[in-house]
């Protein structure tokens, strides 16, 4: 495993396992146990995924020492604001059966995320959260939050994959010492990612799949990745990306796949904002 060191000195695995869209509790528990048995130590969940309890059960059953795991969850829009956020974080800790979180993110830059952030800063100071950060904060929201708060977010988790590489946004994050983390490292398979010709051509050189090339590319760019799969063979495949190195020529080929736009939705599109904020009411 390779690691990144966050802006407060916390060590974070560069590859983890995400549990979005694994709503069934039994399935999620099994998946997380499988992922841990494969070697994943970073688990990424969220209040909104409805599976924190399942993740907590799997952590307990795994018998892996707490200090070897890196657990992330996220505060949902409906829990925004100082008091609400604090309460919801306590609930998340209970569901996860943990007494501290390694990383806590604000899931979306909507509702009273200032209040949420200040609750997170307080819990960070109390030692209940080892690192705090944000998700889906594009440069405008990120800079705004940093200008008026004490603690610089350690992480910004944003949609990042070969078709949306976030080069410009990452430059801003680097300027302020914020580590980029990718959600949707495979773009959930959109744009036929798994059969992309460029990724296939590069993969053939190393006897690696398109999925492995896509992850390796992000890792070599210093991006933390949290691929999701419910399939143990794929979990193994996605974990097996540290025994090869893409050449400069490969990297230069893959950079051309960047469309510099979301494969899902834009946080600047009013209809999308209406939809997402509607989910948090």
Ligand X SMILES: NC(=O)c1ccc[n+]([C@@H]2O[C@H](COP(=O)([O-])OP(=O)(O)OC[C@H]3O[C@@H](n4cnc5c(N)ncnc54)[C@H](OP(=O)(O)O)[C@@H]3O)[C@@H](O)[C@H]2O)c1
Q: Which residues bind ligand X (CB under 6 A)?
A: 18-21, 44, 107, 135-136, 157, 183-189, 194, 209, 211, 226-231, 234, 237-238
Q: Is 49 a catalytic residue?
A: yes
Which DSSP string corresponds to 86-100?
HHHHHHHHHHHT-S-
In whole angstroms, the minimum distance from the beta carbon of 197 to ligand X comes to: 16
Q: Which residues have C-beta within 8 Å of that of residue 219, sequence separation ≥ 6?
A: 2, 14, 15, 225, 241
Which DSSP string corresponds to 31-74?
HHHHHHHHT--EEE--GGGT-HHHHHHHHHHHT--GGG-EEEEE
Q: Which among 49, 113, 117, 217 is annotated as catalytic? A: 49
Q: Which is nearer to ligand X, 207 or 248 (CB)?
A: 207
CA angle 27, 97, 43 (to 5 degrees): 55
- Report the DSSP beta bridge partners of residue 73: 104
In whole angstroms, the minimum distance from the beta carbon of 248 to ligand X comes to: 25
Q: Which is nearer to ligand X, 202 or 226 (CB)?
A: 226
Q: Which is nearer to ligand X, 6 or 209 (CB)?
A: 209
**Nearest residue by C-beta to ligand X?**
18
Q: Which is nearer to ligand X, 7 or 263 (CB)?
A: 263
* 19 touches 45 (CB < 8 A): yes
In whole angstroms, the minimum distance from the beta carbon of 50 to ligand X comes to: 13
Joined together, the tokens standing for residue 39 give 């070697």
Q: Which residues are catalytic?
A: 49
């Amino acid at each position: 495993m390779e690691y990144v060191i966050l802006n407060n000195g916390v060590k974070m695995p560069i590859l983890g396992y995400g549990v979005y869209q694994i709503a069934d509790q039994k399935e999620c528990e099994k998946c997380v146990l499988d992922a841990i048995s494969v070697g994943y130590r970073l688990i990424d969940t969220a209040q909104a995924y409805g599976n924190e309890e399942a993740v907590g059960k799997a952590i307990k059953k795994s018998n892996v020492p707490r200090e070897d795991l890196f657990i992330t969850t996220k505060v949902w829009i409906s829990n925004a604001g100082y008091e609400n956020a604090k309460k919801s974080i306590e609930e998340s800790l209970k569901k996860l059966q943990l007494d501290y979180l390694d990383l806590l993110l604000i899931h979306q830059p909507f509702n009273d995320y200032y209040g949420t952030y200040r609750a997170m800063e307080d819990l960070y100071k109390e030692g209940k959260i080892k690192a705090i950060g944000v998700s889906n904060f594009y440069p405008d929201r990120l800079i705004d939050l940093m200008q008026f708060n004490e603690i610089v977010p350690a992480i910004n988790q944003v949609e990042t994959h070969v078709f949306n590489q976030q080069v410009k946004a990452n430059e801003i994050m680097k300027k302020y010492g914020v580590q980029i983390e990718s959600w949707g490292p495979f773009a959930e398979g959109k744009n036929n990612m798994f059969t992309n010709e460029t990724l296939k051509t590069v993969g053939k050189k190393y006897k690696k799949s398109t999925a492995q090339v896509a992850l390796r590319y992000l890792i070599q760019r210093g991006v933390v990745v949290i691929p999701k799969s419910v399939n143990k063979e794929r979990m193994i495949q996605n974990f097996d990306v540290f025994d090869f190195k893409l050449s400069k020529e490969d990297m230069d080929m893959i950079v051309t796949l960047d469309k510099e736009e979301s494969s899902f939705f834009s946080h600047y599109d009013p209809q999308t904002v209406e939809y997402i904020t509607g989910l948090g009411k």
